[in-house]
């Protein structure tokens, strides 16, 4: 009976004295004696206390080893996660650099697409993109808005007589003359071939006409010198343009409609003898 109870005491002591694993200073004998009333015995024999202590120490050693192994596994896992994290960070940095590069390339392409390489004027594509923002500003303006399309007169003859290089130079020079005369708030675009579109605000038709007349005077006053491939002589010549102008009568009017109206007026200017400006409402410039 005593041995059976003592064994029970040992088992209970083994369970009860878990605290002793973490605190080697604990009194194993006191812990074991606390269990005596539950075993119907007196004090637990010293031999059994020693045996329990040995078992507990063995258990503690096992737990410590296991704990250290767990810590090592955790450290290994953390090292693996750090390596993966560094790899992801490197990939992300490379991706960000590539995105930045692509954005820069996209901006460069947009700049190329928005500026005509020959004349330096803005392109037809950029005109369509600018239109919406231009109209937003128009809602707050009390001035009239005009769209004009000009076409260089007899430009084909310039190319035939002096070659396309000279023709390109004429087109560039005319564009430069117009840009230098207009305000920063005005817009000028190369529409195609030798056609140029001008957008500007003015107080009224007469004010707009005055600006367009000045442009025509400046262009006609410029002298070009080039070798005539037909006569084999060096010629000095000037150029002029015909222009059609349309006024925006309501904010809802689309760009395509205004260009179409200006184009109709341009044809009238050509039919009237060229080198002149015609408004779609038939207000005809006196220049010819």
| Catalytic positions | 194
Q: How far apart are CA 49 and CA 55, in angstroms?
A: 10
Q: How many CA atoms lie within 13 A of 151 on its CB side?
A: 20
Q: How far apart are CA 12 and CA 239, in angstroms?
A: 115
Say which residue the tokens 């840009």 belong to: 179
- Return the closest-CA partner of residue 143 out of 203, 210, 207, 205: 203
Going by the DSSP 8-state scheme, the letter that residue 239 receives in this structure is: -
- Return the closest-CA partner of residue 134 out of 248, 277, 262, 261: 248
Contact 243, 153 (CB under 8 A): no
Instruction: Give the Cβ contact number of residue 227 at 10 Å.
Output: 13
Residues with Cβ within 8 Å of residue 283, at least 6 apart in sequence: 205, 209
């Amino acid at each position: 009976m005593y041995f059976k109870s003592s064994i029970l005491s040992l088992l209970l002591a083994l369970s009860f004295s878990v605290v002793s694993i973490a605190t080697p200073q604990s009194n194993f004998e006191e812990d074991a004696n606390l269990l005596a009333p539950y075993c119907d015995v007196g004090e637990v024999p010293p031999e059994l206390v020693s045996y329990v202590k040995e078992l507990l120490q063995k258990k503690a050693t096992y737990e410590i080893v296991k704990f250290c192994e767990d810590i090592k596994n955790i450290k290994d896992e953390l090292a693996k996660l750090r390596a993966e994290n560094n790899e992801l960070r490197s990939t992300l940095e490379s991706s960000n650099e590539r995105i930045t590069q692509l954005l820069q390339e996209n901006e460069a392409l947009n700049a190329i697409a928005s500026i005509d390489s020959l004349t330096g004027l803005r392109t037809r594509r950029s005109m369509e993109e600018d239109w919406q923002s231009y109209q937003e500003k128009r809602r707050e303006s009390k001035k009239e808005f005009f769209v004009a399309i000009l076409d260089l007169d007899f430009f084909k003859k310039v190319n035939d007589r002096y070659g396309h290089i000279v023709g390109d130079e004429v087109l560039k020079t005319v564009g430069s003359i117009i840009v230098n005369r207009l305000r920063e708030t005005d817009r000028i675009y190369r529409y195609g071939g030798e056609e140029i579109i001008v957008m500007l605000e003015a107080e009224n038709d007469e004010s707009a006409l005055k600006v367009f007349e000045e442009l025509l005077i400046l262009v006609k006053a410029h002298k070009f010198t080039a070798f005539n491939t037909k006569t084999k002589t060096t010629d000095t010549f000037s150029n002029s343009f015909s222009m059609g102008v349309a006024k925006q009568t309501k904010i809802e009017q689309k760009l395509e409609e205004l260009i179409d109206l200006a184009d109709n007026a341009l044809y009238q200017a050509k039919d009237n003898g060229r080198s002149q400006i015609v408004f779609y409402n038939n207000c005809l410039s006196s220049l010819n």
